[in-house]
Amino acid sequence: MDTTPGRLLADREFPGTGNASARQRGLENWPGNRFGEGATTMQAVILIGHGSLRSASGASMIRIAARLRERGVAPLVEASFLNYSRPTLAEMVEKCHAQGATTVIVQPYFLIEGTYVQQDLPALLQDVARAYPDLDFHVAPVLGDHPAMVALARRRVQEAEADAPRRRPAGLLFLAHGTPLPAANRPVYSVMQQVQVQMGFTYGQVGFLDCNEPEISQAVQQLVEDGARYILALPYFLHMGRHVREDLPGILAEVRRRYPAVTIHLARHLDYDLLLADVIAHRAAAVQEQLAAMPCRPAGVGREAACRAGRAQVVMAHWLAPSPKAQLAGSLESVETAGTLLERIGG
C-alpha cells in the first residue's frame, strides 16, 4: 500500500465490497470457513474494547462490529469488553462456540499495545480458553499506525478546521492517554507526525493525560515556545468516556487561561468511522491468510494431535504484517442509535 505523506486514503485503496451478503460474495469459500478439502472450520472475529462506566461509550465499537458483519469479514463477528461493560469476552466466546465456531480471532479495539493488550488480555484469554479445549484463539494486532488511522486523524482535523480556520504558525497536538509501557506509544507519534507533514502544521506534539511525559500542559507550553499561535488539539481516543467528556476539556480550559493569545481549538475524538472497520477487516484478513497457509491445519473439532502439540492454543499475532489484498471497505450506511444497538447486543 502507498503510504506516501500527503496521500489521503480513498476507496480505491480499500477495494469495496459494499453491503453484499456473504453468500453473494462467495464467502462459503472464504479463508475463514475452509482449510482445504474435507477440513471445514468456522471462524469468529470478536472485537474487545476497554469498556467504561458510561455504558454508551462503547456503542461505536458495537456499530463497527455490525458493519464488519455486513461485509462478511468472517462468518461470525461480535463485540465484547474487557472491563465495566457487557457483553464480556467470555459471553461472546460462548455465543460463537454455540453457533459452531472452531477458531476465534480476537481483535483488540485499542490504539496501542499498552498494558491492557500486553498483560490483561492474554491473562483473560488463557482463562477463557480453558473452558473451550476445542477452540483455537488468535489475537490480531491493535489498530496501531495503520494508514487508515492516519486518514481518520486527518478527517477529524479537517472537520475541526471547517469551523475554525487555521492561523499560522500552527501546531498540531495529539491528546493521548499514556501507558506504563512508554514504547507502546510509538504508533501515536507515528500517526501524529504523518498528519503534521501531510496537513502542513509547522509544529507537532503528543501530550499525555497520564503515565507519560510530556503532560498535555507541557506539550502546549512547548508548542507556544516553538512559536505556535494556533493549536489544533485532537483527542486521540476511540470512545466518549470520562477522559474525553470531562478531563480533556478541563485541562484545555486551564491552558487557554494560561495562554490567552493562543487559539486552542478542540477537534472531535476518533469516535465511529468506517475507516476503523477498514483497519479491523485488514487485520483480521491478515490473520486468516496466515491460518490458511499453516502447514498444520485445524480439522473442525477433532484437531490433529500433532497440531495440538505443535503450537499454543492462544496465539498472539501482533507480528502479523498487513496484507494489501486483504483490504476491504464498505459504503456509508444509515446510522443506528447507540441505545438500540446496546439493547440488542449488550444483554
Name the residue type at position 41.
T
What's the half-sphere exposure (Cβ side, CA atoms, 13 Å) at 80?
Answer: 25
Catalytic sites, residue numbers: 50
227 CB contacts (<8 Å, ≥6 apart)? Answer: 169, 202, 203
Q: How far apart are CA 213 and CA 206, in angstroms?
A: 9
> Alpha-carbon dihedral of residues 121, 123, 128, 133, nearest 10 degrees?
120
